[in-house]
């Protein structure tokens, strides 16, 4: 069983690699472009992920984000908050392939996965709500690695 599981994961990662290479070619993704994968449906995490995209791009000295999602609400939210994003429909199945590759090895610095629980092993939900830490803070500081995040004025 273990051998079949490992082989299956490697095969899925290979499909993810091909998917990534297709994205790079089709959308002419360059070194300073950022790819942001929203693998799940719309929720508070994805709302804050969309809200901070342009700040994230600025922090990475980038002017372009390719946003991958399968949810229309995420697409609408990204388009409302970000002036530098191109939203691409990306199925959940394709997201799983890319996550399989990402779980195998970190193949690029240009991919950010906007999820508290994916890839497997992430536990972002355990941070939010603990000692006053908000989902917004986890997204901005942990997932996007923003150094200039400013908490709301009413927070002490």
CA–CA–CA angle 44, 143, 115 (5° rounding) = 50
pLDDT at 120 over 90: no
Spatial distance between the Cα atoms of 136 and 30, rounded to a whole number of angstroms: 28
For the chain, what is the domain count?
1
- Does a structural domain hold residue 149? no
- Band of pLDDT at residue 86, cut at 50, 70 and 90: very high
156 — pLDDT class (breaks 50, 70, 90)? very low
How far apart CA 113 and CA 2 sit, in angstroms, is 27
Q: Please state the length of the chain.
A: 156
Average pLDDT over residues 2-13: 87
SS3 state at 60: coil
Is the residue at 11 inside a domain? Answer: yes
Whether the model pTM is above 0.85: yes
> Is 90 exceeded by the pLDDT of residue 15?
yes
Distance CA 66, CA 57 (A): 11
pLDDT at 82 over 60: yes
Domain encompassing residue 7: 2-143
Confidence class for position 38, pLDDT limits 50, 70, 90: very high
Residue 63 resides in a domain: yes
> Is residue 65 predicted with pLDDT exceeding 90?
yes
Q: CB of 82 within 8 A of CB of 65?
A: yes
Does residue 152 fall inside a structural domain? no
């Amino acid at each position: 069983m273990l051998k079949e599981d490992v082989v299956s994961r490697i095969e899925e990662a290979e499909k993810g690699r091909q998917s990534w290479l297709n994205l790079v070619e089709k959308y002419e993704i360059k070194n300073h472009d950022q790819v942001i994968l929203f693998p799940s449906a719309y929720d508070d995490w994805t709302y804050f992920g969309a809200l901070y995209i342009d700040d994230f791009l600025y922090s990475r000295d980038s002017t372009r984000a390719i946003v991958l999602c399968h949810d229309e609400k995420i697409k609408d939210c990204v388009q409302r908050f970000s002036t530098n994003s191109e939203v691409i429909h990306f199925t959940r199945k394709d997201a799983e392939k890319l996550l399989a590759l990402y779980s195998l090895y970190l193949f690029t610095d240009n991919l950010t996965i906007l999820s508290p629980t994916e890839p497997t092993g992430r536990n972002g939900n355990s941070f939010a709500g603990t000692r006053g830490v908000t989902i917004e803070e986890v997204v901005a500081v942990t997932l996007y690695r923003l150094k200039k995040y400013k908490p709301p004025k009413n927070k002490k």
